Amino acid sequence: MKTIFFITTLMVGSIAFAQTKPVDKMESTQIKTETVNENGKMVEKKVKIVTKKEQEVKTAPLKSGEIDAPMIETPTKITKTISVDKDNDDRFEEISEITYYTYNDRSYGFKSTNSGFVMSVTSNEAERVFGTARRTQNDEIYVITMNDYSGVGYFNQNNDFVIEYFDKDKGLMQQRSFKQTQF
Model pLDDT, residue 78:
77
Single pTM value for the model: 0.55
Rounded percentage of the chain residues whose pLDDT exceeds 90: 13
pLDDT in tens, 148-183: 889 999 988 888 889 999 988 888 999 998 887 654
pLDDT in tens, 90-144: 777 667 778 887 777 778 888 888 888 888 887 777 778 889 999 999 888 999 9
Domain ranges of the chain: 23-180
| 127 in Cβ contact with 120 (< 8 Å) | yes
**Radius of gyration of the chain measured on its C-alpha atoms:** 22
| 61 in Cβ contact with 88 (< 8 Å) | no
Residue 4 carries which side chain, given as an amino acid letter? I
Choose among 96, 51, 111, 81: nearest CA to 120. 111
